[in-house]
Each structure stands twice: as C-alpha cells, then as structure tokens.
Amino acid sequence: MSYFEIIGGRKLNGEIEVKGAKNAALKAVAAALLSKEKWVIANFPFIEDTNRILEMVEDLGVKVNRGDRGNKRDGERSWVEIQAKEIKKSRLNDKLTKKLRASIILAGPVLARMGEVRMHHPGGCVIGKRPIDMFLDGFQKFGAKVKWQNEHFRISAKKLRGAKIFFPKITVTGTETTMMTAVLADGETILENAAMEPEIPMLAEFLNKCGAKIRGAGTPTIIIKGLKKIGGGILKLIPDRIETGTFAILGALAGSRIKIKKCDPDHIRALLVNLERAGVRFEEKKDELIVWGAKNLKPVNIVTHEYPGFATDLQPPFTLLMTQAHGASLVHDAIFDGRLMFTDILNLMGADIIMHDSHRATVHGKTKLHGRKIASPDLRAGITLVLAGLIAEGKTRIENIYQIDRGYERIEERLQKLGANITRRK
C-alpha cells in the first residue's frame, strides 16, 4: 500500500495551479448521460473519484474517451469525451456504488433515459451520516416508484412529470440530481431552497447551451422546463474551489510566498474573509491568489455553512491553521457530524483540540506539531494531514492515501515544485 513520507519544516515558495473542480466533474459526467450527443468535459481532473464515476458510466455501456495529455480541448490538455448514444443497463455497479457517495447523481439521468434505475445504497467518505431521503423524495415527486430491498433501490417511472420540490434542508448533490432529472421530465419543475454552490450554475449554463431551459441556478429557486432531448458540446470545468482554499491555507502555514494560479478567489470569499481576520496577508487577481506565510496568527471562530458561507470541505485545513494561532478558536461544523473526528490525529501530532460534541471543537494554540505515523481517515482530513506533516517537526508517514488521491491529482508532485519534501512510497 502506498504512503506519503513527509519531512516537515521547509518554507514553500513558488506557483501552484488549481485543477478543474472535482465536484463539478462528477456532476458533469452524470449529466452527460442525459444526452445522446457527445459531451466533452475540459479541464477535467484525473483523480480517483472521477476515475470511479467514469468506470460506472462505462459499466452502463456508455463510450468514454479519456484525454489526459493529448490534443487540447477548449484550451485544456485534460478532458474526457462521453457519448451516451444508448445506455445498456439500468443497474449501477454495486462495487463502485459502495465506493463513491456521488454515485447517487447517476440515478437521475439513468432514470430519465431508461425509465428505471437500480442501485445499492451509496458509500463514500466517513464524515458522518449521509442519508439520501431527499433524492428519493424528489424522484417520487417526479412520479417515480421507489422500492427498497436488501440495501438496494429500484426506482422506476414510465414517465417523469415536472414537480414542485422544496428541500427541507439544503443539499448540493440533491439539487443537482433533481435539476438534471427535471431536464427530461414532462412540464415545469420548481426547486425551492436549492443549493447555490458555483458548480450548480456552471452545470445549468452548460445544460442550457445544450438546449435545456433552466432559470435561477445559483439562487434558492430554480425553474426547469422539461424537454424530450438535449444536445452536446464542450463544457469547461470551473477551478476547484476547495483546492484553491487548501492551497491558500498552505501558503499561510508553510509558505514564504505562494502564487495560486488558475483559480477563482470569488468562490472562496468566506475563507478569505476569515484568513484576513486571522492576520494572513494575500493579494487577489481575477484568476490568481498570492498568499504570504503568516507570522502571528490570531484565533478566529468559524461556523461552516452552505455556499456562499464557509465551506465544510475547508473546515479541516482551517482547524489545522488555528493550531498555529495564539489563543483559542471555536470550530463549528454545522453540515456534517463526523468531520471533526480527525482532530484526534492532530492531537497525536501535538495539537490541543477539545471536542465538545460531534459538531464543535475548541482549538488551543499555538502548538508545535511533531511528525508521526498516521492514516488518512477521509479526503479533506487527509489533505489536512499532509499540510500538518509539512509544518511538523521531523518525519510524518501518512497511510491510506487513496483517500487523498480521491480528490487531489498527483498532489506530491505539485507540492514538490513548491519545495516540499514529500515522497510517495510503496
């Protein structure tokens, strides 16, 4: 099993490019199944999660062509082509579904194209309870029948009808899945209390280019007029805002000066405001962010929130940042109930973090971190442990790095270019 070996304490300097957004790529692959025509998804990140969703699509009999160093598409060397002329089966692969929470997003397009979808309950990150009730309620509102037996669902509908759906709780993937399904439903769909993450208007804009009729994406109310079919084209993914934010925190923790390229600082506004409050110096341009290493960090309390609030995916690296601030800061993850568990590992490395309950912890700083042998519990905690290793004294060995490879493409090579001493070993 591969692991990362990190020798901490080096000052990092230079440039790092942000890849296309993982959570936009996963949804774009699913949405491509709505069309019989070719979709090219450019600026595509080749990471474990996107590999898994492409495998799932191929398993359904859909043609996928991966280009990760060939001809440029829409100015990008990294792209995939997907053409779902026909979908050969309605049963999602069990093994892959259990590996990837986001596999649920395939349910909507497969149901819309095939009149049926069968799948195992999706698996994925261990960051707390991840029910799918709002997806199932949504499908039922479109007129589908949902049957549940032995951990498997069968969702079926001869015809999907547009519906009015109010989400009792804001859900990112739930919003995306119902929005996609509505594109091929009969009549009008209104989604209320919808999520507003930037990946949603990106997808809606492209679906509209393919002929769909979606209004209001990026606001809490999305209105979709259903159609019989949509076309294809080239979709360029937006930069990954979680990578951007993670690299900004890395810059504050370990950088002398780090330039983050090909990013959109507007997408991490809530983080930037809090970095400023913590005393981190940065300069932003349209698609660049320069961050300087921070000397005297101040403690800042944060509460995670749906977009445009503080992203839960940036909570773990921000919690690490607070271990280097002078004083106590309260971290409240309001979205997931398992996202602070990794603080135990930071404590093993020398941090002083006290959990009050599954959502809240107080970080007491400043603490010196020491290298240890540890394992990555999930994706965002995993990258945080990489950052922790980079500022810790001595050697850190991180196991279970599949969890990190799920979301960050060849991260060790990109960090090495900044001067980090990190090696992938077998």
Residues that are catalytic = 125
Interatomic CA distance for residues 407 and 23, integer angstroms:
9
| Least distance to ligand EPU, CB of residue 393, Å | 28
Nearer to ligand EPU, 18 or 325 (CB): 18
| Least distance to ligand EPU, CB of residue 53, Å | 9
Nearer to ligand EPU, 44 or 282 (CB): 44
Nearer to ligand EPU, 126 or 348 (CB): 126
Nearer to ligand EPU, 79 or 135 (CB): 135
| Contacts with 172 (C-beta within 8 Å, 6 or more apart), sequence order | 23, 195, 197, 199, 200, 306
**Amino acid letter at 337?**
D
| Least distance to ligand EPU, CB of residue 142, Å | 15
Interatomic CA distance for residues 382 and 127, integer angstroms:
12
Nearer to ligand EPU, 279 or 309 (CB): 309
| Least distance to ligand EPU, CB of residue 28, Å | 12
Nearer to ligand EPU, 130 or 152 (CB): 130
Nearer to ligand EPU, 346 or 383 (CB): 383
| Least distance to ligand EPU, CB of residue 242, Å | 6
| Least distance to ligand EPU, CB of residue 256, Å | 29
Q: How many CB atoms lie within 10 A of CB 308?
A: 14
| Least distance to ligand EPU, CB of residue 395, Å | 27
| Least distance to ligand EPU, CB of residue 52, Å | 11
Nearer to ligand EPU, 3 or 310 (CB): 310
Interface with ligand EPU (CB under 6 A) = 23, 26, 101-102, 125, 129-135, 169, 171-174, 312-313, 335-336, 379-380, 407
- Identify the sign of the CA torsion 147, 136, 118, 38: positive
Token pair in block for residue 366 = 């400043």
Q: Which residue is nearest to ligand EPU (CB)?
A: 173
